């Protein structure tokens, strides 16, 4: 079961160019959450964009 | 151009992964060669021999190949002769890995690395699922700032991650410098509100561990913003998607070029076959982990295997996010 801690102050910070989130959990809570099992089962988070059209692909030398 | 550099570089080189440039000459010789041509060097540790291979193919007739003695028979005979080397001369040295290359059409674009003290894995929860990315300790006022990808701290657009933790120098489940829990996460608003790929960078500020700040324990990389385009970079990460398993550090090195498919991203790519899990791993200008960090692993294109890793251009907006994180209280 996943634990869903609350975060505070989510949103733009002192200037609008930067957003931030202040974590309300204690470090001890976060460290306790990450058991060996959870770490091992974590999924890679990645951005994989659709393969470009074949005709747009640059030629390989 | 803006640079920030730490003095804590003495801690940076745990890895300095002695990549040895090995120029192997010769190889297996097929036809018998006369032993008097052999030369011995440096206390008989290495013997070399010149071989004229022009007649080797002719030598190996079908009959000779059929009659050839299996190599393990020769090895057994060598064992019977006994080991004439002294104990002091046998197999003592540091572990060395030399990456091979796959066959034609499967060029390997990465190198296996030893752990680097300031580079590690990050774990976090987002949308109810647990994820893994890569990150790096960067120089900062609070000595507690970790760089990673925007999509590893915020859904882009959407909510921020929770349960965020940084594990520097991770190797096979071990955390030699401990696990560092985040107390705040930062990213450009263009990422958190619109998922704009130009700004896919995030920073985590971690809490002290055992009374010490992160940078004092693992060191920290200098950072550079608004650098020239087309530089040579070395990127690091912990790819976890196949064919990798996320248990060790990997690097790619190459000259950056613009994304030809989505130039509006303003990103640059280097030859690299790292997979998911490497996201957020640092890009250093030059060819070592001691360089200034100037981007992160951000995205690739589908297709197996991926040949290029793209990273966002670290300009003034990302610099603002860095500055906000760096100057926040830890």
Same domain for B251 and B302, yes or no, is: yes
Best residue in A10, A46, A58 for a mutation probing chain B (most B CBs within 10 Å): A46
pLDDT the model gives residue B181: 98
Range of the domain at B296: 223-315
User: Residues B240, B321: one domain?
Assistant: no
B230 CA: distance to closest CA in chain A (Å): 18
**Residue from B162, B264, B280 to probe the interface with A (highest A Cβ count within 10 Å):** B162
Residues B131 and B251 in one domain: no
0.90 surpassed by complex ipTM: no
**Yes or no, beta carbons of B188 and A17 under 8 Å apart:** yes
- Inside any domain, residue B291: yes
Taking the C-alpha atoms of residue B104 and residue B86, their distance in angstroms, rounded to an integer, is 42
Minimal-distance CA residue of chain B relative to A40: B173
pLDDT at B223 over 80: yes
Residue B213: inside a domain: yes
- The answer to whether residue B240 is domain-embedded is yes
The answer to the question of residue B286 being in a domain is yes
Say if residue B209 is in the same domain as residue B259.
Answer: no
Give the A window 32-51 contacts with B, CB below 8 Å: 33-34, 36, 38-51
Residues whose CB falls within 8 Å of the CB of residue B211, separated by 6 or more in sequence, listed in order? none
- In whole angstroms, give the CA distance from residue B285 to residue B313: 12
Q: For residue A52, give the nearest of B258, B262, B77, B113 by alpha carbon.
A: B262
In a domain, B169, yes or no: yes
Q: Looking at the structure, tell me whether residues B217 and B133 fall in a common domain.
A: yes
> Could you give the CA distance from residue B74 to residue B71 in angstroms, rounded to a whole number?
5
In-domain check, residue B246: yes
Same domain, B300 and B323: no
Chain A positions touching B173 (Cβ under 8 A) are 36, 39-40
Q: What is the CATH classification number for the domain harbouring B277?
A: 2.40.10.10
Closest CA to B153 of B189, B117, B198, B116: B189
Q: Is the pTM of this model over 0.90?
A: no
Pair B211, B139 in one domain: yes
Query: What are the φ/ψ torsions at residue B129 (nearest 5 degrees)?
Result: -120, 155
User: Rounded to whole angstroms, how far apart are CA atoms B194 and B285?
Assistant: 28
pLDDT digits (tens, 9 = 90+) for A4-60: 443 444 555 546 999 999 999 999 999 999 999 999 999 999 999 987 765 444 443
Q: Is residue B185 domain-shared with residue B150, that is, in the same domain?
A: yes
- Look at residue B77 in the predicted model and tell me its pLDDT: 36
Mode of pairing for the β-strands spanning B2-4 and B257-258? unpaired
In terms of domains, do B323 and B207 share one? yes
Asked whether residue B270 is assigned to any structural domain, the reply reads yes
Is residue B247 situated within a structural domain?
A: yes
Instruction: Tell me, yes or no, whether B178 and B322 share the same domain.
Output: yes
Do B321 and B193 belong together in one domain? yes
pLDDT tier for residue B94 given thresholds of 50, 70 and 90? low
| B160 lies in the same domain as B264 | no
Tally of structural domains, chain B: 2
Q: Which residue of B has its CA nearest to A18?
A: B188
A33 three-state secondary structure: helix
């Amino acid at each position: 079961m996943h634990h869903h801690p609350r975060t505070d102050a989510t949103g733009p910070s002192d200037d609008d160019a930067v957003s931030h989130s202040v974590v309300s959990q204690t470090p001890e809570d976060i460290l306790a959450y990450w058991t060996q099992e959870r770490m091992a089962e974590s999924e890679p988070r990645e951005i994989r964009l659709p393969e470009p059209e074949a005709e747009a692909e640059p030629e390989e030398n | 151009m803006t640079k920030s550099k730490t003095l804590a570089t003495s801690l940076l080189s745990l890895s300095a992964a002695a990549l040895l440039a090995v120029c192997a000459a010769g190889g297996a010789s097929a036809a018998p060669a006369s032993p008097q041509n052999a030369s011995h060097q440096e206390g008989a540790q290495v013997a070399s021999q010149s071989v004229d291979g022009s007649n080797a193919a002719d030598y190996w007739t079908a009959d000779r190949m059929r009659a050839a003695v299996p190599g393990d028979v020769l090895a057994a005979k060598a064992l019977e002769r006994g080991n004439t080397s002294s104990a002091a001369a046998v197999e003592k040295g540091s572990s060395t890995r030399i990456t091979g290359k796959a066959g034609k059409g499967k060029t390997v674009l990465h190198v296996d690395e030893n752990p680097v003290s300031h580079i590690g894995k990050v774990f976090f929860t987002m949308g109810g699922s647990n994820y893994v990315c890569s990150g790096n300790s960067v120089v900062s006022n609070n000595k507690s700032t970790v760089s990673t990808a925007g999509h590893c701290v915020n859904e882009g657009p959407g909510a921020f991650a929770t349960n965020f933790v940084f594990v520097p120098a991770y190797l096979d489940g071990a955390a030699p410098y401990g696990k560092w829990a985040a107390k705040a996460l930062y990213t450009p608003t263009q990422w958190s509100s619109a998922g704009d790929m130009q700004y896919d960078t995030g920073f985590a500020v971690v809490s002290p561990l055992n009374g010490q700040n992160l940078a004092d324990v693992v060191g920290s990389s200098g950072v550079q913003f608004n650098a020239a385009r087309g530089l040579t970079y070395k990127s690091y990460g912990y790819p976890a998607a196949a064919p990798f398993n996320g248990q060790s550090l990997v690097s790619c090195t190459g000259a950056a070029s613009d994304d030809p498919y989505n130039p509006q991203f303003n990103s640059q790519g280097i030859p690299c076959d790292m997979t998911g899990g490497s996201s957020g791993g640092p890009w250093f200008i030059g060819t070592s982990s001691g360089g200034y960090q100037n981007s992160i692993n951000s995205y690739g294109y589908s297709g197996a295997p991926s040949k290029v890793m793209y990273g966002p251009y670290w300009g003034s907006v990302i610099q603002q996010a860095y500055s906000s994180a760096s100057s926040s209280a830890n």
